[in-house]
Structure 1
């Protein structure tokens, strides 16, 4: 059961990562202008945010299993639509649907993981799920690029669609039906969102998610440019990103994952954010390949500390009735971070060094106010005792 849920997480992220190397060339082959290519690529993350939020409400009303099933069937169907598009406008519409429907998958999968997790061991559960995310980040782009080059871009969509439809059928059999009691008191959707966001620990988790993916968006945009400027060879962009992914996977999977349940989530979170910020500052000054690889190892360590801690923080401060909405918002902030990070640096037309420093400042500023907040909270608690 646990292994199957982790496989679901892997495929959910694999779908997104496999399209990174092929979507821009695909849009260009249909005659899209550079501006339209950018909108087409970004449309997925944009509508994904709304899918995350909608999924959150649906999970808490109908259960995570039902949302997961519909998510896989609808996402699989939208992937098959890619094979019949012939204009940039049609491609953008399919991206709209694809992003919206795939937004159902990750909140539902992580809600199942959180609900099945043992009390006091949510951090380790989220770290293990991070292994699945890391693996998909490594093999997804390679799969998309190789299959598209060898057999054509349509086969990328067809293969993933078939896998998703098979998983939907297996999920129907393997995942037990939820027995979560639904509250009789139905709060207005907007009021519920406000209540969740105003909960300090959940708001901290959301800000951590946004900060992490803002940095990730900047990194995805700037690292290939940096490698190109120093003429290291385009293959090193993939190798550097794989280095970050492998580092994160090792920390997720090895006994180091005990740190997430040994120390307080917000403490590990702040260390992770500071580590990523330091890695980005070093990246802005790096001009040698060896130093770039060191920076990506450091970045991967920071990612590995940050991702499970913010996920566990959310799981530990929600119950069965609000967890779906909270995870929906959580991954909406993930998508928002990617969109804002890559779009802002692109619009400002900054150099790779400046882009890294902007992302690092976001991380350090958020770390600083969190440190002040949790320190003052601790002092108040001590004075009351």
Structure 2
């Protein structure tokens, strides 16, 4: 049984099953639907393929945790799921290197990274399908917008509650509650039959999913050595970036072949699997004594903490504005609407690549304050340039700069938060941090649309607002903090 359940065998079997079902879907079911008028073929095969994909995702996670192989192998396995014959080519490569992959004790950190991936996968799978799903239930434009925005609004309050409860009870009970409740709410989408019911489920979904991320990041920060905080933040950023790439692609493809509730149900299964692993492995890692619970302190508004909060808000302000403005700008240039999605995916790939470099080698000579200002400045300049980009080559170059800035900023502001807090108040800090994430998204996507300027002018306003934040950081930070190298900046 031990040999049968070896992670290499499991991931190979799941990959071959996924590759076979994908070929059946594309080579048999799709022609039957469009050439022979048999749509039921896609429904049946698509449903089977969806369940196989769930098993494959769990197998990749299982292999990553047990083998601790290079994360590039997991990325290749994930990418192969969307490429015909990709799984078969990858299977041959894995089989040749079978002797290199040995089972190792599962580090608790990797389990928490998987929880972070789940939380952001849950978020990003919603983006391409929620507005159209609301419309399919009969919602008008206003109610569809309410359904989309309700998640972010209640997510903010979930983040704040998570921070308070994490400092009082520890990360473990909050993470387990978040995983259980989020998985349950994801399954409720299959019962939704009206716009009002959708808004109610979105209300619950936003709040309970907001419990997970602050608690998970607090746990990672508390168990990581001080001189490794930057690398840890880069690794967690890698998982966020992977979720940003995989989530929209997965939900867009699967929702078109099955249904939106089915997509959310597959994510729920992943959450329930992680819940089981969390109960088994994390329970004894985060026990809190009564004295530690009473010692939960108030936040001290240190400079590093304020910079981190500003970074959280303006990073997502930039993201929200870009998500709103880029499709309009691409359409005005006469390009296909899918180009904007391709550009955003490319930004995610660049960010993940830089995250991996930071995680492996670190930027020890660049303290977090310098990376913070450099990253935010790159993103601000990119916003200024987007409005004046008229060719695909220029758009790609600007998006590359934007992705690099994002990849520098995200780990830096996490490191600043850790340096500006203690274990007794770090949960509250992460609660506010991710609440500002939600607030920044709303301000960027909704607020910038209220500016009475053309799209190019709105890009300029976004860039100028962000540059003002960069100037404020430079003016208020001691010069030594910005310019001097430090090992603690890793």
TM superposition shift of 1:63: 0.7
- Give the aligned partner of residue 199 of structure 1: 302
How many residue pairs were aligned? 372
Distance in 1 between the 2:403 and 2:270 partners?
29
Distance in 1 between the 2:412 and 2:479 partners?
21
Distance in 1 between the 2:278 and 2:445 partners?
35
- Give the aligned partner of residue 352 of structure 1: 455
TM superposition shift of 1:210: 0.3
TM superposition shift of 1:261: 4.0
Q: What SS does structure 2 have at the residue aligned with 1:111?
A: helix
Alignment partner of 1:319 out of 410, 422, 425: 422
Is the alpha carbon distance of 1:271 and 1:378 closer, same or farther for their aligned partners in structure 2, counting shifts above 3 Å?
Answer: closer
Q: Is the counterpart of residue 131 in structure 1 residue 131 in structure 2?
A: no
Is the alpha carbon distance of 1:163 and 1:276 closer, same or farther for their aligned partners in structure 2, counting shifts above 3 Å?
Answer: same
Distance in 2 between the 1:378 and 1:68 partners?
34
115-124 vs 17-26, which moves further: 115-124
- Give the aligned partner of residue 300 of structure 1: 403
Distance in 2 between the 1:111 and 1:94 partners?
27
TM superposition shift of 1:214: 0.2
- Give the aligned partner of residue 185 of structure 2: 78
Asked if the contact 1:14/1:140 (under 8 Å) is kept, the reply is yes
- Give the aligned partner of residue 43 of structure 1: 150
Distance in 2 between the 1:56 and 1:252 partners?
25
Q: What SS does structure 1 have at the residue aligned with 2:144?
A: helix
TM superposition shift of 1:257: 6.2
CA RMSD of aligned residues (A): 1.8
Alignment partner of 1:178 out of 280, 286, 289: 286
Distance in 1 between the 2:123 and 2:402 partners?
21
- Give the aligned partner of residue 468 of structure 2: 365
TM superposition shift of 1:109: 1.2
Ranked by relative contact order (alpha carbons within 8 Å, sequence separation 6 or more), the top structure is 1
Asked if the contact 2:159/2:435 (under 8 Å) is kept, the reply is yes
Could you state the TM-score of these two structures normalised by the residue count of structure 2?
A: 0.73
Is the alpha carbon distance of 1:291 and 1:343 closer, same or farther for their aligned partners in structure 2, counting shifts above 3 Å?
Answer: same
User: Which structure 2 residue ranges, 5 or more long, are not aligned?
Assistant: 1-106, 483-490
Distance in 1 between the 2:162 and 2:449 partners?
30
Q: Deviations over 1:133-166 (max 9, x none)?
A: 1111011001111110001111111111111111
Q: Deviations over 1:212-255 (max 9, x none)?
A: 00000001111111122222112212210111111111111025
Q: What SS does structure 2 have at the residue aligned with 1:18?
A: helix
51-60 vs 118-127, which moves further: 118-127
TM superposition shift of 1:327: 0.6
TM superposition shift of 1:262: 3.0
User: Which structure 1 residue ranges, 5 or more long, are not aligned?
Assistant: 380-385
Alignment partner of 2:439 out of 326, 336, 348: 336
TM superposition shift of 1:350: 4.1
TM superposition shift of 1:48: 0.7
What is the correspondence of 1:145-184 to structure 2 with a 5 Å cutoff? 145-175=252-282, 176-181=284-289, 182-184=292-294
Is the alpha carbon distance of 1:185 and 1:4 closer, same or farther for their aligned partners in structure 2, counting shifts above 3 Å?
Answer: closer
Q: What SS does structure 1 have at the residue aligned with 2:226?
A: coil
